[in-house]
Structure 1
Amino acid sequence: MKRTVPTADPAVSASIFTHLLVAHHLGDYLVQRSSDAEAKSKSGPEGRRACTRHVTSYTATQLATVVLGATATGVRLRPGSVLAGAALSAVTHWVIDRRTPLQTFARAVGREKFYSFGAPREGHGDNPCLGTGAHAIDQTLHKLVLAGSALLMGLGARRVR
């Protein structure tokens, strides 16, 4: 008996990606607690706990958004595929948000100077802002992973309307 490997309908995966992108912005900017945003990159247990809380709420936001979006657009998702996509997103989001791996990545690809662009400078009274190189690299990697998560979540999904 020949087993078939589930495939992803491009339109369904694109729809899932759109829902994941919306959920990403909700989870990263509106749902995330300010205290977790400030602490998630700290070394030690405090930083790990803050990052875990953030990724938990972020992933719940993604799952709710994808399920609601699929329901509204008449798409039947495969639970295993959705969980695989959510797991990929959650694990990589946690690693990226811990910052040390992100900085190591930036250094490895020759973007260390860009990584520190816009960061507050000691003794200059600079204010932290979202317009840093680290933030740009962080968001780029998150969105790259979202594309992979959308493909995983779309495996075997089908339109029912």
Structure 2
Amino acid sequence: MFADVFVILYVAHHLSDFPLQTDHQAAHKADPTFAGWRANLIHAGTHIATTAVLLLVGALVLGLHPTVAGTAAALAWIGVSHSVIDRRSIVRWWMEHTGQSGYLKHGGALTVDQAAHIGLGLLPAALALAALH
């Protein structure tokens, strides 16, 4: 079940982060304003909704049987972790303190951001879904 749900989460993540994210959300989700938090939370909500729909489709098509508790835990983790990572301060801090400041200056934040979403967001969510089925 782990591989199945990880692929589903991965696809949902990329759909939510690229074709389903508006220009406004991308430009303002890290702003320290009400509008920035609003953009961030709507974007995180898109991740939760997209993931929920694809998990339902996956459950129906693949015969997966995730529990309500596992699904709720995974969706909550995806929403919270995505929101926190997209505030950008963690990614910036990481890059500035691990010898990647040059990479940061040349646009590397997107790559580190995506790695954080996969390793800190999707992987634990997939593990929770698999462990709590």
Which residue of structure 2 aligns with residue 36 of structure 1?
25
Q: Normalising by structure 1, what TM-score?
A: 0.77
What SS class does the counterpart of residue 76 from structure 1 fall into?
coil
Distance across 1 between alignment mates of 2:76 and 2:98: 25
Which residue of structure 1 aligns with residue 131 of structure 2?
155
How large is the Cα RMSD of the aligned pairs? 1.2
Q: Are residues 1:139 and 2:128 paired?
A: no
**Which amino acid letter does the alignment assign opposite residue 67 of structure 1?**
L
What SS class does the counterpart of residue 41 from structure 1 fall into?
coil
Distance across 1 between alignment mates of 2:61 and 2:100: 41
Q: Deviations for 1:24-76, whole angstroms, at most 9, x for unmatched residues?
A: 11111111222111111212211111100100111110111112112210111
Distance across 2 between alignment mates of 1:32 and 1:143: 17
Which residue of structure 2 aligns with residue 54 of structure 1?
43
What are the within-5 Å matches in structure 2 for residues 54-73 of structure 1? 54-73=43-62
- Identity percentage over the alignment? 30
| Larger of the two Rg values belongs to structure | 1
When you count helix as a share of all residues, which structure comes out higher? 2
Q: Normalising by structure 2, what TM-score?
A: 0.92
**Which amino acid letter does the alignment assign opposite residue 112 of structure 2?**
I
User: Where does structure 1 lack aligned partners over 5 or more consecutive residues?
Assistant: 1-11, 118-131
- Residues 97 and 138, structure 1, Cα contact 8 Å, conserved in 2: yes
- Residues 93 and 142, structure 1, Cα contact 8 Å, conserved in 2: yes
Distance across 2 between alignment mates of 1:24 and 1:59: 9
- Residues 83 and 153, structure 1, Cα contact 8 Å, conserved in 2: no
Deviation at 1:110, TM superposition (A): 2.6
Q: Would you identify which runs of 4 or more consecutive aligned residues in structure 1 move more than 3 Å?
A: none
